[in-house]
Amino acid sequence: MRYFIDTYGCQMNEYDSGLIASMMEENGCLPTEDPAEADFFFFNTCSIREKAEETAIARISKMTYYKKKRDGIKFIVTGCMAKHLGARLVERVRAIDFVIGPDNYKKIPEVLFSHPVPVIKRTLSKRIITDFNEEENYLGETAKISTPISSYITIQRGCNKHCSYCIVPYVRGPEKYRNPSDVIREVTLAAEKGVSEITLLGQTVNAYKSSDMDFADLLLKVSEVKGIHRVRFMSPHPKHYTEKLIDILLSIPQICPHAHIPLQSGSDRILKKMHRQHTLDEFMCILEKFRGKDPFYGLTTDIITGFVGEEKEDFEATLQAVKDAQFDAAFMFSYSPREGTESAKETEVLSEEEKQARLETLVELQNNITLERNKLMIGRTEEVLVERPSTKNSSEWVGKTGNFKKIIFSSNSAKPGDYILCHIDSVRGWTLRGTPTIK
């Protein structure tokens, strides 16, 4: 038997796909990347914006082609859209056999392997398993590693913030934290398999706490694991960048000089309406702490344009904030109302065209800033983690600097997982080009 997994959305879904893969393999199932030979199709989905759901539904519908060709194939939808749409998904795509929410993955083997009753005869309610489970932290589980170089490790699930636009708290449930010893166990196992870069994950990852540790303490512990050379984290919330955390981020060599700090909007009025719990000034103070110490510190962000009630002045405040912040890169989105959220109750005034136009203006501004920030790197020598050969030229390699920039360089001896020093020569497109130097 073979399984195929299609993953959408954030890194937390990537990690969860690794959990599902491990459970399938423990039950004797092998992975495949070719849908034509799969018996189990997993669609690990995202609900963050309407488009994310529509993309996944279109793909699942398309994949029914394989299901029609052979008997016994099962379609399982997991992830946030499973929780959000539940039975409505099966109404839209009849071929779906099971809908399993983010707290229910441990039931997958039982559901797939221990029921003699043909799926078709089972009632719909038995096929929709999406209840929240406050206790479920997947303790003791080890997610399958997707690359032998760099690994994601989830340390926090759910979210308590209830930003007014966001569906995550409704599809992932309240915040819960994995205990530190289980985190260290998984990091150690990954390191033993050759992973040297770890990214700790949570929707407000820096809010992490256990009975005796906060996020900064856990970062320290992870960076002390033998074989771990780089530590990153995603996605932090501005409110939880404490003095202690910033001090540790700036002082521990294994922690990469890159912070993702989601801005969402540059207007205090909109930040308040979004329930982001900070002002623009407080946000800028955090950036200053990093760039004051290291002007090359990598800073990235998320921004939403056309949020409900966003006036022209609010949008202009966002553009100004982006100019002031000089982010290295940004993920930028047009606001998408999500069912059940506070802001979805308000009628939108802006047309889709206007929202799109604002997004394009912002993207153009940020693209120029990204280019300028990358050009500043020319002449520096940076440590690069080698990831893979370039797809365009087999003598070239793709890697990442500590401050999270992609770099391409030529080498006859590099291999994935190596750390090499690279002199940065130029910027082509947005990408750094470098030459390896002797370490």
Site string for ligand SAH, 257-286 (x = CB under 6 A): -----x-x----------------------
Scanning 69-77, 156-164, 327-335, 431-439 for contacts with ligand SF4 by CB under 6 A, the matching segment is 156-164
Q: If binding means CB under 6 A, how many residues of this protein chain bind ligand SF4?
A: 10
Place of tokens 């016994």: 72
Cα-based angle 62, 13, 64 (whole degrees, multiple of 5):
15
Contact partner, 366, from ligand F3S, ligand SAH, ligand SF4, none, Cβ < 5-8 Å per class: none
- Name the residue nearer to ligand SF4 (CB basis): 161 or 273: 161
Least distance CB 237 / ligand SAH (angstroms): 5
Going from the C-alpha of 356 to that of each of 42, 56, 277, the distances in angstroms are 32, 22, 27
Measured distance CA(254)–CA(194) in Å, rounded: 16
C-alpha triplet 133, 138, 144: angle, nearest 5°: 140
Phi-psi region at 256: left, alpha or beta (left = phi > 0; alpha = psi -120 to 50): beta
Minimal distance, residue 133 CB to ligand SAH, in Å: 21
Rounded to a whole number of angstroms, the distance between the first and last alpha carbons of the chain is 47
| Contact string (CB under 6 A) for ligand F3S, positions 122-161, x = contact | ----------------------------------------
Q: Which amino acid is at 60?
A: I
- Asked if residues 398 and 390 have their Cβ atoms less than 8 Å apart, the reply is yes
Question: In what order do the strands lie in the sheet containing 74-79?
Answer: 30-31, 2-7, 40-45, 74-79, 98-100, 128-129
Using the rule CB under 6 A, is 159 a contact of ligand SF4? yes
Cα–chain center distance at 377: 26
**Does residue 162 belong to the site contacting ligand SF4 (CB under 6 A)?**
yes
CA dihedral 33, 36, 41, 42 (to 10 degrees): 30
Torsion region of 242: left, alpha or beta (phi above 0 gives left; psi -120 to 50 gives alpha): beta
Query: Min. distance of Cβ 271 from ligand SAH in angstroms?
Result: 12
DSSP state, residue 239: G
Which residue has its beta carbon closest to ligand F3S? Answer: 9
CB 188 within 8 A of CB 222: no
124 exposed, middle or buried (CB, 10 Å; 0-12, 13-18, 19+)? exposed
Nearer to ligand SAH, 157 or 433 (CB): 157
The nearest distance, CB 7 to ligand SF4, in angstroms, is 18
13 is an interface residue for ligand F3S by CB under 6 A: yes
Residue from 85, 111, 171, 359 that binds ligand F3S (CB under 6 A)? 171
Question: Is position 237 an interface residue for ligand SF4 (rule: CB under 6 A)?
Answer: yes
172: contact with ligand F3S by CB under 6 A: yes
Parallel, antiparallel or unpaired: strands 128-129 and 150-154: unpaired
- Residue 79 binding target from ligand SF4, ligand F3S, ligand SAH, none, CB below 5 to 8 Å by type: ligand F3S
Judged by beta carbon, residue 166 or residue 228, the one nearer ligand SF4 is 166
Query: Within 182-221, which residues bind ligand SF4 (CB under 6 A)?
Result: 203-204
Query: Any residues with CB less than 8 A from the CB of 346 and at least 6 apart, and which?
Result: 308, 309
Total site size for ligand F3S, rule CB under 6 A = 13
Max Cα-Cα span within the chain: 67
The residue from 8, 43, 49, 245 that contacts ligand SAH (CB under 6 A) is: 49
Positions 311 through 370 that interact with ligand SAH (CB under 6 A): 333, 335-336, 338
**Closer by beta carbon to ligand SAH, 195 or else 359:** 359
**Could you tell me which of 27, 34, 28, 26 has the C-alpha nearest to residue 5?**
34
CA–CA dist 222, 230 (Å, integer): 10
Q: 333 touches which of ligand F3S, ligand SF4, ligand SAH, none (CB within 5 to 8 A by kind)?
A: ligand SAH
* Residues forming the site for ligand F3S (CB under 6 A): 9-10, 12-13, 46-48, 79-80, 167-168, 171-172
* Residues forming the site for ligand SF4 (CB under 6 A): 159, 161-163, 166, 168-169, 203-204, 237
* Residues forming the site for ligand SAH (CB under 6 A): 48-49, 165-166, 203-204, 235, 237, 262, 264, 302, 304, 333, 335-336, 338
